[in-house]
Structure 1
Amino acid sequence: MMSFQTFMQHLVNGISLGSLYALIAIGYTMVYGILRLINFAHGDIFMLGTYFAFYAMTSFMLPWWAAFVIAIVLTCVFGMIIERTAYRPLRNSPKISVMISAIGVSFLIENLAIVLFGGRPKAFPIPPLFGNIINIGGVRIANIVFIIPVITIISLAILLYIINKTKIGMAMRAVSKDYQASMLMGIDVNHVISVTFGIGSVLAAIGGIMWAMRYPQLMPLMGIMPGLKCFIAAVVGGIGNIKGAVIGGFILGLSEILIVAFLPELSGYRDAFAFVFLILILLFMPGGLMGENIKEKV
């Protein structure tokens, strides 16, 4: 019989993991909402953010807050460069061409990272502020576990403000509704899409840094599985819907931790739960929990 302290420990871990999935899933859903494109390189952008922060702290000896800011800015710029070089030239091409380009970019980043950073895992330095352990009712919790959900909520609030209250946000909503009509109305669609990729990359970098402090082992291929799971979270919530992506992330993170907690003999199949969940959602709720069924234009 699981004790109350053990259950609370798993619950807190599930909320923390769900917050990370939610933060990264927003980037997927933003790009899809405007371009109807799954950015398969998003998980690799997440990985680059962690390496930028790692080398800023270890090689350039910057304080953690400066290293994090620089890593986020560099990741944002990198995401916008990817959009400019790999996706924009194919803007009017068939969707399958853009998808193949996205997969190619993902493989390129992963293998380039292996060459530049090496394949050996690296330990991410955790600042004391995030690594300290506190004891609440017999439950030992690192500060980062509390900080991750707070960062996710703040990021979501800022993003919703940008989308609903600013001129660029209004342009994003217009482009997501009708790409061609937005161009006719004088909206700089290329700029809007570039900003969207930049914001998505910022969220991926923040999520990557939080992930590295929660699970402090860096590898060039570390973004593959989290990237796939965050894509699943976006689909579960309703891809294209920001609030849905957050809900999907929390559902996926909590269910993944709690299923293993109650059924420890299935811990080896932990990653498989997410894909089973995806299949069930696609079978019974193809539009996700908060999404709409949108017909693709070929």
Structure 2
Amino acid sequence: MVDLIQILVDALSVGGLYALTALGIGLIFSVMRLANFAHAEFVTIAAYLLFAFSGQPLVVALTISIVGAVLLAILTERIAFRPLRNADAATMLIASFAVSMFLQKLLVFSVGSRVKTLDPLPMLSGPISFGGVQISALKLATIVVCAVLLMGLTFFLKKTRFGLQMRAAADNFTMSRLVGVRANTVIAIAFGLSGFLAAVVALLFAAQTGFVQPRFGLQLVIIAFVATVIGGLGNLPGAAAGGFLVGIISTLLQAFLPPDLRPFREAFLFTAVILVLLARPQGLFPARGLKERV
């Protein structure tokens, strides 16, 4: 029973990180049909900002990290993607790779490639006891933060004017523009929210790993892309569900695979992903109007 509770907490914690990352990716894809590989650098740069201001109170460092990630995301859209908005999908994809590589190499040039230790949440390093069960305080905090953000994003999308405009744009962007939705505003908000989610993921992921380096967000974003595809490209609830599903599968593989097979956990994970996509090529929750793009 104790092991089952710990596995459940691990699965929800990992799945929550993947879900938040997948949502950051899905927000952009839903309104632009753009697979934004530069999201990995949004996470990485947010983590470096936490490192740069690690001597300051957490509120100050986190605020600077969030503001920096949001501004970076909005500037990336304005400078790199807006001029190419009418280009074909292949051009947009190449631009996304180019922005990702540019930001990554800029980081290496600016701060070097060496790993830097980072512990932004030392107050959560200890365990919490529940009825004799020792559970990581950091993992519990990760679950709570992910749940709060998922509920907050749901409220934003369903109850606010800009959220409703984003949902309308995700379903049918052309029709939304005809009834008065401003494309530039909706896309800028989507990128801003993507940067905000990247900063939160950077905080939680850095607290779990204890380090930051120029490829810090890459592996996380690759798996989150897989989660987005499983959930259904362009479907935000599907992206979150895919993130949790991938996190649960990954945790179960880590827990139940024989020790000599655990280094190959990702191979088993992607095998499971292939099986899901063979059964549901469009994802578990396919979005409406997926072929349309801004």
Change over 3 Å in CA distance of 1:148–1:193 after alignment to 2 = same
Corresponding position of 1:80? 74
2:6 is the counterpart of 1:9:
yes
* Residue identity matched to 1:277: A
Q: Secondary structure at the match of 1:240?
A: coil
4+ residue runs of structure 1 moved beyond 4 angstroms?
none
- The alpha-carbon deviation at position 292 of structure 1 amounts to 3.5
Corresponding position of 1:226? 220
Identity over aligned residues, as a percent?
Answer: 34
Give the whole-Å Cα distance in 1 for the aligned partners of 2:77 and 2:64: 20
Change over 3 Å in CA distance of 1:207–1:69 after alignment to 2 = same
Q: Secondary structure at the match of 2:56?
A: coil
1:207 to 201, 210, 216: 201
* Residue identity matched to 1:168: F
Corresponding position of 2:279? 284
Unpaired runs of at least 5, structure 1: none
**C-alpha RMSD of the superposition:** 1.8
| Greater mean deviation of Cα atoms: 281-290 or 116-125 | 281-290
Corresponding position of 1:29? 26
TM-score normalised per structure 2: 0.93
Change over 3 Å in CA distance of 1:126–1:292 after alignment to 2 = closer
Contact 1:5 1:137 (8 Å CA) reproduced = no
Change over 3 Å in CA distance of 1:295–1:134 after alignment to 2 = closer
Corresponding position of 2:36? 39
Corresponding position of 2:86? 92
2:180 to 179, 186, 189: 186
| Greater mean deviation of Cα atoms: 260-269 or 187-196 | 260-269
- The alpha-carbon deviation at position 137 of structure 1 amounts to 4.8
| Greater mean deviation of Cα atoms: 252-261 or 128-137 | 128-137
| Greater mean deviation of Cα atoms: 170-179 or 131-140 | 131-140
Contact 1:286 1:293 (8 Å CA) reproduced = no
State the Cα deviation string for residues 19-67 of structure 1 (Å, max 9, x = none). 111111111111111111111111221111111111111xxx3101221
Give the whole-Å Cα distance in 1 for the aligned partners of 2:290 and 2:242: 22
- The alpha-carbon deviation at position 276 of structure 1 amounts to 2.1
- The alpha-carbon deviation at position 170 of structure 1 amounts to 1.8
* Residues paired across the two proteins, number: 292
TM-score normalised per structure 1: 0.92
2:103 is the counterpart of 1:106:
no
Corresponding position of 1:161? 155
Contact 2:231 2:286 (8 Å CA) reproduced = yes
Unpaired runs of at least 5, structure 2: none
Contact 2:38 2:97 (8 Å CA) reproduced = yes
Contact 1:287 1:293 (8 Å CA) reproduced = no
Give the whole-Å Cα distance in 2 for the aligned partners of 1:87 and 1:274: 32
Change over 3 Å in CA distance of 1:37–1:274 after alignment to 2 = farther
| Greater mean deviation of Cα atoms: 182-191 or 206-215 | 182-191
Change over 3 Å in CA distance of 1:90–1:131 after alignment to 2 = same
2:60 to 42, 66, 86: 66
Contact 1:163 1:169 (8 Å CA) reproduced = yes
Q: Secondary structure at the match of 1:37?
A: coil
Contact 1:43 1:224 (8 Å CA) reproduced = yes
Corresponding position of 1:267? 262
- The alpha-carbon deviation at position 271 of structure 1 amounts to 2.1
Q: Secondary structure at the match of 1:141?
A: strand
- The alpha-carbon deviation at position 294 of structure 1 amounts to 5.0
* Residue identity matched to 2:210: P
Give the whole-Å Cα distance in 2 for the aligned partners of 1:117 and 1:98: 28
Q: Secondary structure at the match of 1:38?
A: coil
* Residue identity matched to 1:14: A
Corresponding position of 2:15? 18
Q: Secondary structure at the match of 1:89?
A: helix
Give the whole-Å Cα distance in 1 for the aligned partners of 2:6 and 2:290: 43
- The alpha-carbon deviation at position 138 of structure 1 amounts to 5.0
Give the whole-Å Cα distance in 2 for the aligned partners of 1:209 and 1:45: 12
Q: Secondary structure at the match of 1:134?
A: strand
Q: Secondary structure at the match of 1:140?
A: strand
Give the whole-Å Cα distance in 1 for the aligned partners of 2:229 and 2:151: 21
Give the whole-Å Cα distance in 2 for the aligned partners of 1:279 and 1:253: 16
2:135 is the counterpart of 1:135:
no
